[in-house]
């Protein structure tokens, strides 16, 4: 009797877990749809800004236009400037290998680049902050933007990086995040945000070059386009990270729901067998008792 009661309690517990994980899967699916729409909607703008920068760089002859955010002015940072690495993780768990993949990529980046490990490290998300605290890696700042990062928040963060880079406080800004490629494919990536590399013209294309006349001049256009490109790139990285987190949680919760369903069926079979054995034992005892009275 005790065995069947224990199995019945386990069946009830597994059923409760299955309902919880299924609810979390549906919530993650809903959030994924909205986050995917935001991430895909911002990509054309980011690509368009970089295309304008490329055209200005090519039309100006490769050396006519310059800006402090471009790689050619990196020497202004000075000898005391440090590299800055921003690692984007999640605030909540239950998202499969999402955080471990990003953090493993970040640690590989630090091992391959001693300057990045010795520089400033900033973390987005409580999971990343807890990991670096456990690993005894000093963190300069911790950020939290939730499931829906607003552009105004990312804009302020990007502006602070640009101001510190131009002032010479930091020599490079690198972002470690999960890049969203499709609903079935995400990849941890290390991306250099600052300095922006000057666009290179394609020398192998033998076409008639077209001369453009800029109004205002190319330097003024770059002064507007380059900060916009930095902000859009950082916002795109956050958008990719958020939608990848929802995908990972959706897949993890679906797997947990399926496993809970399989475990419930297995426990039900065990309960039926235990109950059948118990009934057989009781019938045997009744028959034996009746035979003893004859």
pLDDT computed for residue 60 by the predictor: 58
Preceding peptide of 216 cis, ω within 30° = yes
Distances, alpha carbon 216 to alpha carbons 212, 222, 223, in Å? 12, 10, 11
Query: In 3D, which of 89, 118, 112 has the Cα closest to residue 188?
Result: 89
Quote the CA–CA distance of 39 and 44 in Å, as a whole number: 10
Burial 254-269 (b: 16+ CB within 10 A, else e): bebbeebeebbeebee
* Structural domains of the chain, ranges and CATH numbers in brackets: 20-198+216-253 (3.40.1380.10)
Please work out, in degrees rounded to the nearest 5, the angle formed at the alpha carbon of residue 159 by the alpha carbons of 61 and 64: 10
- For helices 98-112 and 126-134, the axis angle rounded to 10 degrees is 50
Predicted TM-score (pTM) of the model is: 0.82
pLDDT computed for residue 78 by the predictor: 45
Quote the CA–CA distance of 58 and 62 in Å, as a whole number: 6
pLDDT computed for residue 196 by the predictor: 77
pLDDT computed for residue 90 by the predictor: 94
pLDDT computed for residue 275 by the predictor: 87
> What is the chain's Cα-based Rg?
29
Please work out, in degrees rounded to the nearest 5, the angle formed at the alpha carbon of residue 133 by the alpha carbons of 162 and 179: 50
pLDDT computed for residue 207 by the predictor: 46
pLDDT computed for residue 50 by the predictor: 75
| pLDDT of the chain, 294 residues: tens digit per residue | 568 889 999 999 999 999 999 999 999 999 998 888 888 888 888 878 877 777 776 665 555 556 777 764 444 444 578 899 999 999 998 999 999 999 999 999 999 999 898 999 999 999 999 999 999 999 999 998 888 888 899 999 999 999 999 888 898 999 999 999 888 889 999 999 888 764 444 444 444 455 556 677 777 777 888 888 899 999 999 999 999 999 999 999 999 999 999 999 999 999 999 888 888 888 888 888 877 776
Quote the CA–CA distance of 73 and 166 in Å, as a whole number: 9
């Amino acid at each position: 009797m005790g065995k069947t009661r224990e199995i019945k309690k386990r069946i009830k517990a597994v059923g409760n877990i299955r309902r919880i994980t299924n609810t979390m899967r549906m919530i993650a699916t809903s959030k994924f749809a909205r986050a995917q729409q935001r991430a895909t909607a911002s990509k054309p703008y980011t690509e368009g800004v970089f295309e304008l920068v490329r055209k200005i760089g090519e039309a100006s002859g490769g050396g006519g236009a310059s800006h402090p955010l471009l790689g050619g002015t990196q020497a202004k940072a000075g000898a005391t400037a440090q590299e800055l690495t921003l690692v984007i993780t999640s605030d909540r768990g239950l998202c499969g290998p999402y955080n471990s993949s990003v953090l493993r990529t970040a640690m590989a980046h630090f091992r391959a680049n001693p300057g990045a490990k010795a520089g400033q490290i900033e973390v987005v998300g409580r999971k990343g902050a807890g990991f670096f605290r456990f690993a005894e890696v000093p963190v300069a700042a911790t950020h939290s933007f939730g499931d829906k990062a607003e552009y105004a928040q990312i804009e302020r963060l990007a502006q602070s990086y640009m101001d510190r880079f131009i002032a010479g406080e930091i020599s490079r800004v690198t972002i470690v995040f999960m890049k969203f490629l499709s609903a079935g494919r995400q990849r941890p990536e290390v991306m250099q945000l600052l300095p922006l590399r000057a666009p290179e013209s394609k020398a192998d294309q033998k076409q008639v070059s077209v001369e453009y006349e800029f109004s205002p001049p190319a330097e003024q256009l770059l002064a507007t386009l380059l900060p916009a490109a930095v902000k859009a790139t950082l916002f795109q990285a956050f958008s990719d990270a958020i939608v990848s987190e929802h995908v990972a949680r959706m897949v993890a919760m679906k797997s947990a729901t399926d496993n809970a369903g399989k475990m419930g069926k297995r426990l039900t079979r065990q309960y039926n067998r235990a109950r059948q054995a118990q009934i057989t034992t009781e019938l045997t005892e009744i028959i034996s008792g009746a035979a003893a009275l004859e």
